[in-house]
Amino acid sequence: MDGVYAAGGDFVLERWREFQAQTGASAVVSVVDEAPGVFTDPLPWAWLWLPVADEAAYTLDHLTLGVDFISRALAARRVVLLHGPRGLHRTRPLVAAQMLAGGKSLARVLREVEQRPWLPPYKGDPGLLTAFLQSRSHP
């Protein structure tokens, strides 16, 4: 996705200044079940914490809030970092929902979230992605 990076591990947090300088990322979504690390120096333009333990733990509210945040950041011409500190692919359902919001079909999205760098199996709930898609078409 243009304007969106997904990265895991503490390395990004510890080297935020360098990562931000290289990518231009200024909006951050932290996907972690416990209190996330804080991105400072420089502070992000905007930051969202989604308390999610793993791919299967997402709710419709998590996806909706995350996609709305990403969409607003992109509309403001910001680059977004989706960050999971332990590299457990917790950002993958959010990436899938963002691709659905961008107009891709569910079948295509499911194929893409099992390709590199993600690799199978996708442990999120395809039914939740269907519910997300339906929620977007019926405001």
Could you tell me the residue range of the domain that residue 48 belongs to? Answer: 4-137
pLDDT band at 110 (very low <50, low <70, confident <90, very high): very high
pLDDT of residue 137: 84
Examine the pLDDT at 23 and tell me if it is beyond 90.
yes
pLDDT of residue 22: 95
Q: What would the mean pLDDT of 115-119 be, rounded to a whole number?
A: 81
Examine the pLDDT at 62 and tell me if it is beyond 80.
yes
Q: What would the mean pLDDT of 54-58 be, rounded to a whole number?
A: 92
Q: Which among 87, 41, 90, 34 has a CA at the least distance from the CA of 62? A: 90
pLDDT band at 139 (very low <50, low <70, confident <90, very high): low
Examine the pLDDT at 43 and tell me if it is beyond 80.
yes
Q: What would the mean pLDDT of 62-80 be, rounded to a whole number?
A: 98
pLDDT, tens digit, for every residue of 1-10?
789 999 888 8
Structural domains of the chain, count: 1
Q: What would the mean pLDDT of 63-74 be, rounded to a whole number?
A: 98
Contact 74, 53 (CB under 8 A): no
CA distances from 75 to 68, 71, 95, 137 (A): 10, 6, 17, 20
pLDDT band at 87 (very low <50, low <70, confident <90, very high): low
SS (H, E, C) 41-84: CCCCCEEEEECCCCHHHCCHHHHHHHHHHHHHHHHCCCEEEEEE
Bridge partners of 18? none
| CA atoms lying within 13 Å on the CB side of residue 132 | 32
Which CATH number belongs to the domain containing residue 131 in this structure? 3.90.190.10
